[in-house]
Amino acid sequence: MDGRKMKCSIKPLLAFLLAIPFLLLFTGCPDYTESEAELVGNVKYCKAHEGNTALVYSAVWDGNEEHTVFEIPDAYKGMDLVSMGAKVTGFRVESDSQYWFYNQKIGSNSETEQVNVDMSTVEMKDVVFTLKIGKNIREIRAAYSQRVPSYLVFKRESGFVMYRVLFNIECPEDNKTFYSRDGKLYKRSNDELLDEFTYYTDVKNGVEPDYGFDVICVVKNADLFQSGIYRVDMSRYMDRERKLVGFERLYEYKSNWRIAFSDEDLTEDDFKKLWDSGLAINEGGGNMTGRYMYVLCDHNASNSDAPTNGVFVISWN
């Protein structure tokens, strides 16, 4: 699973939270609040403060992995649905779970439950939400950002599961402001991609979003267990010189991980030659040279029956 490490987003997030009162001061009118929102199905709506229109406040996920479609109609109570997201909080997917993930820890909203979770026991998964927007949507304020990954946490019988939120967006052809292609949303006026969402299409193709500061790539042992190799297309990051910042192993520390860069497609044998020759990198930093980044772990199907819960985090800027 590709992802980003939360600690890199804490400073921007804190700055954002501290700025909320000032944002409200200069917006000219009060922002929308949770108390104004009405839940209809799995989506919350608000009447607009001005005019006879309505707003999509948020979507709500019940944790069922088969319930991942949010359909935004054209109207709410006879009023055209023209925007998504409050001014400050933005559109987001909420959950009916009492658990949350912040600063590398899982916590609970319950006043009576004290949560002390060994993160090595937490199962990490992607959840892909299909967001079907209506024809009248002409403004989207998303809480999501290419800079801040979003996670939803549920407690199952087997333990905690942490879901990274990804989107597949569908837009009707008669929407005059946006259009969708390959699950991604664009503006009709200039074909500009709305980068507020982390798109499933990018992750599926091994392309990480460009965060503007430290980029974090998270590879689970399960991602490369069968082949022993995981490839990330780095071409999106070659607009300027970038340097590796560091590496970190999480949850399991016996396995050895290494990375290498190449402009060519490498086979498993090619990478093993790099590993054996010592040219692969497993610590420290350095310049990235090559279109592809390859990640290898010595715990794989060639010598083991099942993947570990190990995770390898690679960062660069």
Mean pLDDT by 10 residues, the chain (317 residues): 35 41 42 82 91 92 95 96 83 86 71 77 89 96 61 89 91 96 96 88 73 63 86 65 67 80 79 72 60 86 88 74
Residue 253, CB half-sphere, CA atoms under 13 Å: how many? 3
The tokens for 251 are 């949850």
Assess if residue 172 is contained within a domain: yes
The reported pLDDT for the residue numbered 250 is: 72
Assess if residue 235 is contained within a domain: yes
Tracing tokens 């559109």 back to the chain, one arrives at 91
The reported pLDDT for the residue numbered 286 is: 59
Q: Whole-prediction pTM value?
A: 0.59
- 214-244 pLDDT per residue, tens: 566 778 888 888 888 888 877 656 555 566 7
Q: Is the dihedral of CA 63, 66, 67, 70 positive or negative?
A: positive
Domain count along the chain: 2
Segment (H or E) for 233: strand 229-233
Q: Which of 204, 224, 248 is the last residue of a domain?
A: 204
Containing structural domain, residue 251:
215-316
Are 36 and 152 in a shared domain? Answer: yes
Q: Which of 204, 233, 251 is the last residue of a domain?
A: 204
3-state secondary structure of 203: helix
- Which residues are paired to 101 by β-bridges? 106
The β-bridge relationship of strands 53-61 and 93-95 is parallel
Residues 6+ apart with CB under 8 A from 284: 244, 246
- 169-202 pLDDT per residue, tens: 999 999 999 999 999 999 999 999 988 788 898 8
